[in-house]
Amino acid sequence: MSTPTSPLDRRTFIQGAGTLAAASLTAAPSLAAAQESAAGDAELRVALIGCGGRGTGACRQALNTGNTRLVAMADAFPDRMEESLSSITAAHPEAVDVPNERKFVGFDAFKKAIDEDVDVVILTTPPGFRPEHFDYAVSKGKHIFMEKPVAVDGPGIRMVMEAAAVAKEKKLCVGVGLQRHHSFKYQDTVRAIEDGAIGKPVSLRVYWNSGGVWVKPRKPQWNEMQYQMRNWYYFNWLCGDHIVEQHIHNLDVGNWIMGKTPMKAVGMGGRQVRKGAEHGEIYDHHAVEYIYDDGTRMHSQCRHQKQVWSSVSEHVHGSGGTCNVGAGRIETYGGDKWRFEGKDSDAYQREHDVLFEAIRTGREHNEAIRGAEATMTAILGRMATYTGRAITWDEALNSTRLLRPDGELTWNTIPRSLPGSDGLYPIPTPGVYKID
């Protein structure tokens, strides 16, 4: 097995061709080359929907791609918007033009920002809002970058898939924040597996075991909706649980290697450490076995617990060897070794470079189906751990259980999950929880 050539000479390959709606077939050129190839290099006007940390970072990366300008912003909270605007302006003072009349706040703010004279929208709110926002942006003919995950339940996934088909018909470019697909190291390593470097994959192991993420303490002036929106990571209608919000990356790599999605999942999970009222209703650990139609198993772990073994990685065992995908390292049973030795890309930046180059050149680029399938894989795992039974892909995808509250959302809307007299939220119980 040969050492990869320089990343500058590399071309991307079709990534998991069986699961993509429309893959990007070539690597993004350098910024200068992209600008030379763009017809007139017209300015691309951007709207940011969701002004948290990831949205702020994504917008800064979008503005790094060339002749772009941020002209509209939307968020549920004005303070988050102002913090985001300040950060983006500090990094790109020449590329920001967001007067007060193009700052929109509230649950319907996304529509007002998308309705502005913009070419590209960045969707980075909590994922529970993603299906509606994506569907509306597609209906308005906008190019889109949306963060993962793209939904939190089966109805949301079906909405995204339907909108993805419309986006393809309209020739809209869609990027999804599964940035490993834009890493040179991941691309070359997966290509080596596809070329037979470890023989036929027979099992996979994927992990996102870490100490957990932030918590937003409740303030006395917040009602229940305001608290859940501020502390969104811990409520399934907004986040989907950390198996969906974080572990999606590793599950997506497994699907990429297999070239398909699993047909069934079984698993277990619960709360042992992060189980206070501030941790809402989500689990702090999940262990899932995904079964593909050829019998291959993907063994999945994700955990939010401190002072224990941690790993964020993907591993493949084949008939002829093993691979640590994220490390770019392969060992065959015959003793041969291969390692990625080129310079890796900044995958977070490159996913925007590829998207904006496609918009400028008219090249087909639609990652929405891949994003939906990766998200559905994570949701399938959550359903398996919450119910404690085997769940098929079709059951999960066709579930009618909608996690968000019914009706139009306002600050006075009552969420489905509410704390008891002890301040604790009901926790999904295996054997009792239903997916509908």
Helix (H, G, I), strand (E, B) or coil at 13: coil
pLDDT of res. 14: 24
CA 407 to chain centre: 26
Q: Domain-by-domain residue ranges, the chain? A: 10-180+347-367, 195-343+375-397
Fold of 10-180+347-367: Rossmann fold (3.40.50)
Strand partners for 123: 49, 146
Burial call 396-410: b when 16+ CB within 10 Å, e when fewer: bbebeeebbbeeebe
Fold of 195-343+375-397: Dihydrodipicolinate Reductase; domain 2 (3.30.360)
Q: Tell me which residues of the chain have a pLDDT lower than 50.
A: 1-40
pLDDT of res. 2: 35
pLDDT of res. 407: 93
Omega into 149 within 30° of 0, i.e. cis?
Answer: yes
For the stretch 160-219, pLDDT in tens is 999 999 999 999 999 999 999 999 999 999 999 999 999 999 999 999 999 999 999 999
- Tell me the CA distances in angstroms from 230 to 36, 124, 227, 282, one per residue in order: 44, 15, 5, 15
Write down the pTM of the prediction. Answer: 0.91
For the stretch 345-373, pLDDT in tens is 999 999 999 999 999 999 999 999 999 99
pLDDT of res. 29: 39
Q: Which residue has the tokens 């004005």?
A: 78
CA 228 to chain centre: 21
pLDDT of res. 41: 85
CA 210 to chain centre: 18
- Tell me the CA distances in angstroms from 306 to 48, 248, 273, 429, one per residue in order: 34, 21, 8, 24
pLDDT of res. 234: 98
